[in-house]
Amino acid sequence: MSSTRINANSMGLMQYVCGAAFASTLTLLQNGRAGIQEALRFKKILHCAPAGLLFAVQATLNNMAYAQGLPAAMALILGRVYIPVAAVGARVVLGKFYMWLEYAAILILTLATVAFGYLKGFDIATGTPQPHHVSAMVLVVASATTAAVNSLITERLLKNETVPFHMQKIRLDIASTFSSLALIPLVGAITQRVEDIPWVSRPVDGACEIPVCWNVTAGACFNTACDCQCDEGLFAGWTASSMPVISLALVVGIGYNWLVGKLVQRFSTVHRCIADSFSLLLIYFVGDPLFNKTRLDNACLDLVALIVPLSSALFSVAASEMQSVMEAVAAMQDTQGGDGLPRGHCECIAAKRGFDVGVSAEDSEGPQGSTAVPSGFDAASGPSEGAGSRGEDRGEDRGEDRGEEGRGEPGAPASLQVARCGGDLDADG
């Protein structure tokens, strides 16, 4: 973005237009005209309007930050403020909760992000502040916060729909397109960057080195001192020489938006951010030095950059371990319906965390490899007639002793149906 002199909002607008066209083509091929008609239902598009508006705001803020010359690595690290915002939002809005290790990882990540932004605000050699980065950093943080709120809305929106994702993507991109069109004059009215004001004539090439041409208060290209090639309009600067870079940015942006939507639909907002974090290592330690000729001579920044994906990995491991615990306890308690937690309690806990608890025979095998189905329990239909607490009528019908917990009948079915929520959620806390 910084290598071209285009309107930052024009990039976001074209990403949504091209994304909607791609999703429409896919829908037409897979679902025919009926799929297109279903995707273009006005009420459904209107239902996606809040998410579309936030998508447009997020893209606008992010593109404006890149247009100001903010390095991609810094934008990624500062964008990790997304995780604490998303975690708090998931707890408040979606009712999910996290264990202490996950909160520790979120705290480490937040502090590392703040430290990186603070260190980047100063010149490494002289220690003097670099104010030209401050506004771009604020834009990235605002974009990340908007993205976190938007992902929570989108997650609920996508998971409540039964239509294929490409049909949902049409609605989201159409809503984002109209939102971007509404934001373009608003941004032009409040910004001082001549590139972001469509109705002001400005240079079409970044090679123009006459300062007055880029100064909107001095008249920009209307000033007689400016003799650079100028143009006005939303797509001024989309020249033949800049199209390779612009096209690459469009393709990457469309692919990224598509993958993010699929990840949020299939998993969750926080899982999307965890997956996002590992791209930082590639961009900071490989991409920036290779393409932008940056140097990795600041040990403090390098170490902080390593902390960010590692703390994200810690969060992911903690979430995975908690899911394993929920599945194990659900297999032991919910299928038995015995002492301890009420039936269905563990699955309810897992549901509040956003996990889908499914227990297979392989997960439930004891030390002898037999399936852990308690006496008097039918894996397909639940407790059999006359089944009581553990120790009652065990082994009489099967001809074996069931007194040892975890022992089961060899002939049990290959899968266990975990009982639905039957416990008292209020006891969950």
C-beta of residue 183 within 8 angstroms of C-beta of residue 117: no
On whether residue 192 sits in a domain, the answer given is yes
CA distances from 154 to 12, 62, 163, 255, 256 (A): 18, 19, 14, 17, 15
Position 414 in a domain: no
Please report whether residue 285 resides in a domain.
no
Structural domain tally of the chain?
A: 2
Residue 344 falls inside a structural domain: no
Tell me the per-residue pLDDT of 382-409, one tens digit each, with 9 for 90 and over. 444 444 444 444 444 444 444 444 444 4
Q: In this structure, are 208 and 89 located in the same domain?
A: no
For the chain, give the percent of residues with pLDDT over 90: 7
Q: Are residues 219 and 157 in the same domain?
A: no
The one-character DSSP state at 423 is S
Do 305 and 293 meet the contact criterion of CB atoms below 8 Å apart?
no
Residue 27 Ramachandran class (φ > 0 left, ψ -120 to 50 alpha, else beta): alpha
Please indicate, yes or no, whether residues 108 and 203 belong to a single structural domain of this protein. Answer: no
Which helix (H) or strand (E) covers residue 420, if one does?
Answer: none
Render pLDDT for 249-288 as a digit per residue (tens, 0 to 9). 889 888 888 887 777 677 666 666 666 666 777 777 887 7
pLDDT of the residue at 268: 64
Q: Is the pLDDT of residue 230 over 70?
A: yes
Identify whether 358 is part of a domain. Answer: no
pLDDT tens digit sequence for 331-379: 777 666 544 444 445 555 555 545 444 444 334 444 444 434 333 334 3
Asked whether residue 136 falls in the same domain as residue 147, the answer is yes
Residue 370 lies in a domain: no
Check whether residue 30 and residue 131 sit in a common domain: yes
* Domain encompassing residue 218: 199-232
Residues 136 and 226 in one domain: no
Higher per-residue confidence, 419 vs 333: 333
pTM, entire model? 0.62
Helix, strand or coil for residue 181?
helix
Task: Quick: pLDDT tens for 171-209.
Answer: 989 999 999 998 888 888 887 788 888 888 888 887 888
Contact between 48 and 167 under an 8 Å Cβ cutoff? The reply is no
Based on the domain organization, do 162 and 94 belong to the same domain?
yes
Residues 218 and 115 in one domain: no
- In the chain, what is the greatest distance between 2 CA atoms, to the nearest angstrom? 102
222 and 154 part of one domain: no
Q: Are 121 and 212 in a shared domain? A: no
Residue 306 to residue 294: CA distance in whole angstroms = 17
Please tell me the distance from the alpha carbon of residue 190 to that of residue 197, in angstroms, as a whole number: 9
Cβ-based neighbours of 283, under 8 Å, separated by 6 or more: 72, 73, 76
Same domain membership, residue 103 and residue 60: yes
Name the domain boundary from 222, 246, 277. Answer: 277
Q: pLDDT tens across 61-91, in order? A: 887 787 777 776 677 777 777 777 877 877 7
Residue at 286 is within a domain: no
Q: Which of 208, 232, 256 is the last residue of a domain?
A: 232
Q: Which residues pair with 360 in a beta bridge?
A: 415
Element housing 40 (H / E): none
Q: Give the list of residues 6+ apart from residue 147 with CB closer than 8 angstroms, or none.
A: 54, 58, 79, 82
| 311 CB-near residues (< 8 Å, 6+ apart) | 105, 106, 108, 109, 112
Last residue of a domain, one of 250, 277, 304: 277
Same domain, 107 and 226: no
In a domain, 194, yes or no: yes
Residue 17 has pLDDT above 70, yes or no: yes
